[in-house]
Structure 1
Amino acid sequence: MKKTIWALMFGLILMGCSNTKQTIKEEKWEESAQFVRETVVTDDGQKDDIVFRIGDNGKFGFGEYGPFIAGESQKYMWHFWGDEKTLTKPFKVIGVSKETGEEITVFQIPAQSLAPNNGADHHLPSAMMLPSSGLWKLEVFFGDKLFGNVVVNVKEK
């Protein structure tokens, strides 16, 4: 009887693990939410949109100085909300392509002191480039811990 119970429990655990792997494969890839604000950008009154991409946990995002274009580097200003202990650890962004599964290190810097800006607890300037078009998930790490992610659509040149 004990062997039957153990076999049943082991089978349920294996089924749970296999369902977890399938859920990761079937994960939804939707472009992350963004906040767009029209602003005057020149002395003669020309207007342009400022785009702020919002991370999945609501504790970070980045301002876009232009859209992601495959193979082209662009400036992005990251903003974070959270505790100093976390936000001052080394920062790294890993990009994952939905199309190919390719993983690349998009940006990384060593630990820094806290730098509040525009209401955020911390901010970091960056230059990022993604090599191919399509959806890319940017996984954001402080130290070895995943802080959150954001999905962007990279356009062709």
Structure 2
Amino acid sequence: MRNMFRWMVVGCLLLTGCADGGSPEAQGPKETETREQWTVSPVFETASGSKVRGEKNRAGILVHEENGLVVTQEIAKYMWLVWGDPEQLKKGATAEIYGMHREDGKRQLLHKASLNGPMHGADAMTLSGPTFPKKGLWKIEVVVDGESHATFVLDVK
């Protein structure tokens, strides 16, 4: 009887130790992430000459010369630009913009909408209102119709 009790205790400890710790949305950055993964993404120029910060030829956010190519909390609207397969990015495809703030590591939905047609040299775009609840580094993931499309880092001032 004592042996059976010991095995039950060991089994419970093993099962508790193997728990996954919650959903991926609630988990913060992994300890193995390096500083390079939180380096602010570069600004690139589109075919139409617009300045975009993000992952070149995948997705990014339109930035303006007036604010020094910096994303701020004060901008009234953001334009998210997406490049890729025209079939996947057809008008009406759903775009979800997720953000994870470096301090708290919580993944949150910043914007969800249907993609609109081409603009500023991109294959598709969507507009959002002010979406960043606080300043600092944000890791952005652009998801199109449920598939991860691009990831980049913004420094919100």
Indicate whether the TM-score tops 0.5. Answer: yes
Residue 61 of structure 1 corresponds to which residue in structure 2?
60
Taking structure 1 as reference, are residues 68 and 116 closer, same or farther at Cα in structure 2, changes over 3 Å only? Answer: closer
Pair 1:29-2:29 in alignment: no
Q: Which runs of 5+ in 2 are unaligned?
A: 1-29
One-letter amino acid of the structure 1 residue matched with residue 145 of structure 2: G
Counterpart residue number, 1:133: 135
CA shift at 1:134, angstroms?
Answer: 1.4
List structure 1 segments (4+ residues) > 3 angstroms apart after TM superposition: 65-70
Distance 1:60 1:153 in 2: 16
- Compute the displacement of 1:22 (Å): 5.3
Q: Secondary structure in 2 aligned to 1:87?
A: coil
Q: TM-score, normalised by structure 2?
A: 0.62
Instruction: Check whether the contact 2:97–2:110 (CA below 8 A) recurs between aligned residues.
Output: yes
Look up the match of 2:103: 99
Q: Which runs of 5+ in 1 are unaligned?
A: 1-20, 37-49
Q: Give the structure-1-normalised TM-score.
A: 0.62
Query: In 1, distance between residues paired with 2:34 and 2:119?
Result: 37
Cα distance in 2 for residues equivalent to 1:128 and 1:151: 17
Aligned partner of 2:125: which letter?
A: H
Q: 1:79-131: CA deviations, max 9, x gaps?
A: 22211232132110011011110222111014x4x512233222222223211
> Aligned residues, how many?
117
Aligned-pair RMSD on alpha carbons? 2.5
Task: In structure 1, give the amino acid aligned to 2:62.
Answer: G
Letter in 1 for 2:153: V
1: CA distance, partners of 2:75 / 2:99? 14
Residues 74, 129 of structure 1: 8 Å contact kept:
no
Q: CA deviation at 1:54?
A: 2.7
Distance 2:43 2:57 in 1: 11
Given the superposition, is the C-alpha separation of residues 120 and 87 from structure 1 closer, same or farther in structure 2, using an over 3 Å criterion?
Answer: same
Name the SS for the 2:87 alignment partner. helix
Deviation for aligned residue 1:51: 4.3
Check whether the contact 1:64–1:75 (CA below 8 A) recurs between aligned residues: no
Partner of 1:123, secondary structure, is: strand
Q: How far does residue 33 in structure 1 lie from its aligned partner after superposition?
A: 0.2
Percent identity at matched positions? Answer: 29
